[in-house]
Amino acid sequence: MIVTNSPEALRAAMVDHIKAAGHATNPTVERAMRTVPRHDFVPEASIDDAYADIAVITKSASDGSALSCASAPIIVAMMLDQLQVKPGNRILEIGAGTGYNAALLAQLTGPGGSVTTVDIDPEVTAGARRGLDATGNEHVEVITCNGSLGGPENAPYDRIIFTVGAWDLTPAFWEQLAPDGRLVVPLRWRGQTRSVAFVRDGDALVSDSMELCGFVPMIGQEGERSGAIDADGLVTLYWDGDQAIDAAKLSGVLDQPKEAVWSEVLVGPQEPFDGIWLRLTAHDSRICRISADRAAVDAGLCTPAIPARSPALAEDGSLAYLVFRKIQEGRFELGAIGNGPYGGHLAGQLCEAIEAWNQDRSAKPTVRAYLSNASTSAISFDPAMSHEVIEKTASRLVVSMC
């Protein structure tokens, strides 16, 4: 008899929950997650926490921010579905974590394949090594190195997966990914992070799926900029280095008169609307992230739809950001608040984007990634689609959408 709070019962319940949420759709992913004992990789956590749908923090910085963790199981399953591992694949994982994901990858590729996992932190790789050895995964290779360099020792790879957040993609991943290979990465642009599944197409990496996510960022990638726009430092903008956004020009903008514009688009309490932000990255170079502390929200200074992360449009000394208001029980109207000389105009444009998203809420852009030194002739544009070119340090993204 299996005790209801035994690791086996809790693991079965965990996978049942993941399946009900629409993930682990690949039977091999489901089987691996029902097999690998997650609690053996997070020995400091309780058995209940090991199988709960939460991230388990395994190393923190002095300020309390997470440096390493075991990702929430539902995110693990989602990304493994995206990776589409086949038996015999050679796999590289960037971000060793606890070793749990590498053990799942070893199950998926089987005895004919190989798994290499790398991490910059020797404490993290030592912990991953212990967990892998304790669960019979001695054949998984664990390497301590800068993840931006990949794992040249065992390249090329049929599959590459990041379990840390990346702002940029370095040449190593073009050099080490096999032709027709797949790369899954939590990639950050314009203030939001998506788990993007790329397929290699010559010198381009072309997306075929994207899912909202959040990850501990990779060390050493400092392309995102940030700046407070109020005197008390309660409201911060985040943007990319290639954007013409200057926080100094926006200082005090929230003290200026505000103008609210409403879209007549309604959502329920569980309906996601993050697609508005994603779509805007293909249409508007002014899109960024706004984050407001609770004190700013309570004072009415800045009231974004999601205080910690909402889309905003910033131009010179004007700003608009996404908001919502309750219309009736369980229904909320999306809109925008603008501040500054052109804040109302920006709010209207943000509402136009909300209305466009409402016409097809499931539509997503395509992202093509190239090395930054790729020739202009090698970059593909569809003239029937709107697109934005996002310049990073080592790579260039072309985000396209009708």
Q: Is residue 389 part of a domain?
A: no
The angle at the Cα of 310, spanning 305 to 316, to the nearest 5 degrees, equals 115
Q: Is residue 387 part of a domain?
A: no
List the beta bridge partners of residue 31: none
Predicted TM-score (pTM) of this structure: 0.94
- Asked if residue 48 and residue 150 are part of one domain, the reply reads yes
CATH of the domain at 160: 3.40.50.150
- Asked if residue 255 and residue 172 are part of one domain, the reply reads no
Q: Widest CA span of the chain, in angstroms? A: 70
| Selected residue with higher pLDDT from 29 and 219 | 29
Q: Is residue 369 part of a domain?
A: no
- The per-residue pLDDT for range 264-301, each reduced to its tens digit, is 999 999 999 999 999 999 999 999 999 999 999 999 99
**Domain boundary at 212, 233, 248, which?**
212
Identify the pLDDT of residue 3: 52
Q: What single letter denotes the amino acid at residue 310?
A: S
- Asked if residue 16 and residue 160 are part of one domain, the reply reads yes
Clarify whether 68 is annotated catalytic.
Answer: yes
Q: Is residue 378 part of a domain?
A: no
User: Which of 62, 68, 209, 318 is an active site residue?
Assistant: 68
Q: How far is CA 356 from CA 58, 263, 279, 397, 401, in A?
A: 42, 10, 9, 23, 12
What stretches of 303-376 show up as alpha helix (H) in DSSP?
Answer: 343-359
Q: Is residue 184 part of a domain?
A: yes
Q: Give 1's pLDDT tier (boundaries 50, 70, 90).
A: very low
Domain count, the chain: 2
CA–CA separation, 303 and 234 (whole Å): 12
Query: Of 134, 87, 77, nearest to 108 (Cα)?
Result: 87
The predicted model gives 153-164 an average pLDDT of: 97
Residue-range definition of the domain harbouring residue 113: 7-212
- The per-residue pLDDT for range 229-239, each reduced to its tens digit, is 999 999 999 99
pLDDT at 64 over 80: no
- The per-residue pLDDT for range 160-177, each reduced to its tens digit, is 999 999 999 999 999 999
- Asked if residue 43 and residue 126 are part of one domain, the reply reads yes
